[in-house]
Amino acid sequence: MLTQTDGLVVNSTDSGESDKLLTLITERYGKMFVYARGGRRLNSKFMAASLKFTFGDFVMDKTDKLNILHEATPKRSFFGLQKDITSLCLADYICEVLADTTMENEPSGKALPLALNCLYALSEKGYPPQDVKTVFELRMTEALGLNPDLSCCCRCGRSDREWYYLDVMNGELICHDCGVPSDDDRTRELTGTARIMILMSSAEVYAADRVIGADKSRMFSLPNDKALRRKLGEMSEKYLINHLEHNYKTLDFYKEMIKLG
């Protein structure tokens, strides 16, 4: 049965002498593995649309066991990613997380539009990769239904405290007055066998909540304070990675590129 769908190529691997196996993330069908016969040939009609990071229109013979590509037309290729190695590495990370969290035969929901917006921000808008990473991670928690409740302390209900602890795995705030540690060390992070606590100032809590809840036109409007943006980036990564319980090699490589840069 021929099926048409838009999709983002998050991976493309060689198969046989001249074929490709594409991993697509689609809105309706979720993750799909699509076989492009002759896709590696220079004169292949699938060449342009089968490149990684390409968003396109795909027509395939969809079966229970194998999807055979019939037609493919690229809509956006994000060529600007090739201009900056750090942005390219971050795009790899975004696509790996997207593929890891998208199931086959299930709608991708908010995750696919989020990834496309982030790729566009990197490729066409030139936003700093670190900021795009923070936005992607924070909003991905919301897309997956994992976002923390940052409205107030889960114990006393107060929202006017200066310092809070974010209980990562429970997704809740505990104000400093209700307290987790026995001392007043405002710099250390407390990690135990059952709990991961991140100390956050009220400004950091507010900024994270704004990023998660902002409309699409303002999703990349991060605070001007560089130290605050750095703290948000540390928090967003730790929160998402701990919830997904997955170590991403693309994230490790991105961090190496940051160091070299």
Buried b / exposed e across 21-52, counting CB within 10 Å, b at 16+?
Answer: bbbbbbeebbbbebbbbbbbeeebbbbebbbb
The residue with greater pLDDT, 185 or 48, is 48
Going by C-beta distance under 8 Å and a sequence separation of 6 or more, which residues neighbour residue 46?
20, 36, 38, 39, 69, 72
Tens of pLDDT, residue by residue over 198-225, are 999 999 999 999 999 999 889 999 999 9
What is the pTM for the complete model shown? Answer: 0.92
Going from N- to C-terminal start, the domains of the chain cover: 2-76, 80-144+234-260
| For residue 29, pLDDT beyond 50 | yes
| For residue 28, pLDDT beyond 60 | yes
- Give the span between the Cα atoms of 106 and 97, in whole angstroms: 16
pLDDT of residue 248: 96
- Fill in the DSSP letter of residue 124: I
Tens of pLDDT, residue by residue over 92-129, are 999 999 999 999 999 999 999 999 999 999 999 989 99
Question: 2-76: which CATH topology?
Answer: OB fold (Dihydrolipoamide Acetyltransferase, E2P) (2.40.50)
What is the number of helices (H) and of strands (E) in the chain?
Answer: 6, 10
pLDDT of residue 66: 83
How many of the other CB atoms lie within 10 Å of CB of 151? 11
pLDDT of residue 175: 92
Helix (H) / strand (E) element for 252: namely helix 249-260
